[in-house]
Amino acid sequence: MKQSGTIVEKQYFTYGAAPDRLQLESGAVLGPVTIAYETFGTLNRDRDNVILIAHAFSGDSHVAGHYPTDREGDKPGWWDFMVGPGKGIDTDKYFVICPNILGSCMGSTGPKSINPETQKPYGLDFPMMTIGDMVTTQKALLDHLGISELRAVVGGSVGGMQVLEWCVRFPEMIRSAVPIATTMRHSALAIAFNEIARQSIMADPKWNNGDYYGGDFPRMGLAVARMVGHVTYLSDEAMRRKFGRRLQDKEAFSFGFFDGDFQVESYLRYQGSKFVDRFDANSLLYITKAADYFDVVDRVTASGPLKGGDLQKVKYLVISYSSDWLYPTYQAKELVQALKRTGQDVSFCEIEADCGHDAFLIPDERLTTLVKGFIDGVG
Amino acid sequence: MESAETTRLRFDLRIIASIIPENSRVLDLGCGNGDLLEWLARNKNIAGTGIEMDKQKAARCIARGLSVLQGDLNDEVDDYPDCSFDYVILSQTLQQVFEPARLLYSLARIGRKVIVSFPNFSHYSIRLQLLTRGMAPKNDQLPYSWYDTPNIRVITLKDFRKFSRDVGYNILKEITIATNRSNEEGKVIGLFPDLRATYGIYIIEKNRM
């Protein structure tokens, strides 16, 4: 029997050392820049079987499989049900690349990386980067790997934003795009929740203006930020089904604040505490801000059909979830409308699911079948 | 996987498929499982798009590699620029549309030609039932009771010809067919179509003065 996980190793690509530092959208410069990435499957001779997967805000390059150092019982990558031999994105056919985003803390350069000028972690000296800057670094990685054509760019949530950014920046490289549970720009609601998350970190005294590396870090602020995030990833229905008003390990109210009474409290506390062990508070600040700044509406609207007759068009598959209240279906439909108006080849499907925004991370045959059929059918 | 040759299209869809020229841009409204679009893509190299309300059917189409939007056709047709398609197909759906004039106006705007088909309410079986039994008629094409039918309109061939003229469309072609019980097979009806045809298929375009 084939081991459920492909064995994969994290790789690193570094470029942009002074004086060729990276010019960011904000005008700031950054360099050198390291991008962590993982690859699955084999690049074919024509180099035309490449699929780029863009991860969501707190994700990483470990999209599927196991690391050689994993022990029995360790979880595989975050989209293991989708990516692998014979799966929706079939690594027997396709060469899959998943880079860690700029500004993250999972191997790519971000606020906790060492600033070559000070030999200390950047902290708030890290320049503000955008979704566009993330895509610029991914393009540099592909150049480095000698890849100039993508059969598909696929991603959910903030990953979907990167997909759209790819499409407006490098349409000539892309044959198809699958933005999932995403938006052309944040609504006030989405910005509001991100701001609450940021304020909760910045209000933690241990945050110390972002300068906490090497000491105690804003554990509580980051945990609360994650708790807010988790509420936005779920839905009213999902929370009713999962928790309702059920109590956690008790028969009666505690009539106090320190023991969580309700299961939902316990769940959020658990999610919060789990998150602080793996994620950097400053990365959360930077990445949520990048997502808030992201706005691709004008560029999608202006990106009419490619001129010149035979140039290939990007084929789009837009997917939304019925219970996603962070990026609701109406926002996916706005994207579909904009693409239709500019004459793009677009498919759209809303998947009926009560798990909210995070539904794309939960194994679902419908998503797998859609993505598989769509990508396999790209001419 | 069935090949295009072995996939037997429903008879009315075969007639419609035979009308569409090669390399056309086609929009199929209410495309169901995408049988017509797939046949046209394989055999006539068309660039096709479908619109389907049902999520499972839309997903099945997309998984077949077809470009399909899941949504309400009345809304979805509004977003396309003028003349985005050579042919827009509205097959067996007109009788379920709330605002047929508005929809046909949109279709004639986004498509150069529109193919409309619907079950003929003046078929002799319908006429006889109403005459002899005095109850809302049913037949193989219109099998529903009055209280659970999705068909909110009853249309005869004559009605449609008059409607087309009144709202400013040219009928370029009328094909009237009689289908068997399952609607899988049938034949083209030349004589007395108003009485004998189970379906009318019309190619219309906007009167461009």
Band of the pLDDT at A6, cuts 50, 70, 90? confident
**How far off is chain B from A144, nearest CA to CA, in Å?**
32
Does any domain span residue B209?
no
Q: Is B67 within 8 Å of A351 when comparing Cβ atoms?
A: no
pLDDT at residue A305, as a whole number:
55
Band of the pLDDT at A3, cuts 50, 70, 90? very low
Does any domain span residue B2?
no
Contact A320, A347 (CB under 8 A): no
Does any domain span residue B61?
yes
Domains and CATH numbers, chain A: 11-186+294-376 (3.40.50.1820), 191-287 (1.10.1740.110)
Residue of A nearest to B63 (CA): A373
Known catalytic membership, residue A58: no
DSSP code string of B45-110: --EEEEEES-HHHHHHHHHTT-EEEES-HHHHGGGSPTT-EEEEEEES-GGG-S-HHHHHHHHHHH
pLDDT digits (tens, 9 = 90+) for A248-265: 998 999 998 888 899 999
Q: At B204, give phi and psi (nearest 5°).
A: -125, 160
Known catalytic membership, residue A324: yes
Contact B100, B22 (CB under 8 A): no
d(CA A182, CA A167): 14
pLDDT at residue B209, as a whole number:
58
Q: Is B65 within 8 Å of A372 when comparing Cβ atoms?
A: no
What's the whole-number mean pLDDT along residues A328-338? 97
Which of A104, A108, A157, A303 is labelled catalytic?
A157
pLDDT at residue B71, as a whole number:
96
Known catalytic membership, residue A357: yes
Cis bond before residue A111 (omega within 30° of 0): no
Does any domain span residue B130?
yes
pLDDT digits (tens, 9 = 90+) for B81-93: 999 999 999 999 9
pLDDT greater than 70 at residue A302: yes
d(CA B136, CA B152): 13
Across the A:B interface, residue pairs with CB atoms under 8 Å apart total: 59
User: What percentage of residues in chain B have a pLDDT greater than 90?
Assistant: 88
ipTM for this model? 0.90
Set of chain A residues whose Cβ sits within 8 Å of the Cβ of B79? 336-337, 340-341
Set of chain A residues whose Cβ sits within 8 Å of the Cβ of B84? 343
pLDDT at residue B6, as a whole number:
40
What's the whole-number mean pLDDT along residues A320-337? 97
Unique residue bearing structure tokens 């479908």 = B50
The 8-class DSSP code of residue A262 comes to B
**How far off is chain B from A367, nearest CA to CA, in Å?**
9
pLDDT at residue A313, as a whole number:
82
d(CA A73, CA A64): 15
Band of the pLDDT at A216, cuts 50, 70, 90? very high
Q: Other CB atoms closer than 10 Å to residue A379's CB: what's the count?
A: 7
Unique residue bearing structure tokens 């059929």 = A373
Pull the structure tokens for residue B75. 């809304």
The partner residue sitting opposite B67, judged by closest CB among A333, A345, A376, is A345
Does any domain span residue B15?
yes
pLDDT digits (tens, 9 = 90+) for B109-153: 999 999 999 999 999 999 999 999 999 998 888 899 999 999 999
A226 is in an annotated binding site: yes
**Orientation angle between helical segments B55-63 and A365-376, nearest 10 degrees:** 40
Set of chain B residues whose Cβ sits within 8 Å of the Cβ of A373? 62-65
pLDDT at residue A379, as a whole number:
76
Least confident of A211-225, B13-27, B49-63, B179-193: B179-193
Contact B104, B169 (CB under 8 A): yes
- Structural domains of chain B, count: 1
A358 is in an annotated binding site: yes
pLDDT digits (tens, 9 = 90+) for A134-153: 999 999 999 999 999 999 99
Contacts of B70 (CB under 8 A, 6+ apart): A348, A349, A350, B52, B53, B54, B55, B58, B59
Unique residue bearing structure tokens 């975050």 = A78
Set of chain A residues whose Cβ sits within 8 Å of the Cβ of B71? 333, 348
pTM of structure: 0.94
Q: Looking at residue B136, which CATH number applies to its domain?
A: 3.40.50.150
Q: At B143, give phi and psi (nearest 5°).
A: -85, 5
pLDDT digits (tens, 9 = 90+) for B157-192: 999 999 999 999 999 999 999 998 887 899 999 999
B69 touches chain A (CB under 8 A): yes
d(CA A179, CA B138): 46
State the residue range of the domain holding B197. 11-204
pLDDT digits (tens, 9 = 90+) for A59-86: 999 999 999 999 999 999 999 999 999 9
**How far off is chain A from B54, nearest CA to CA, in Å?**
10
Does any domain span residue B110?
yes
Q: Other CB atoms closer than 10 Å to residue A193's CB: what's the count?
A: 19
Pull the structure tokens for residue B70. 């899941």
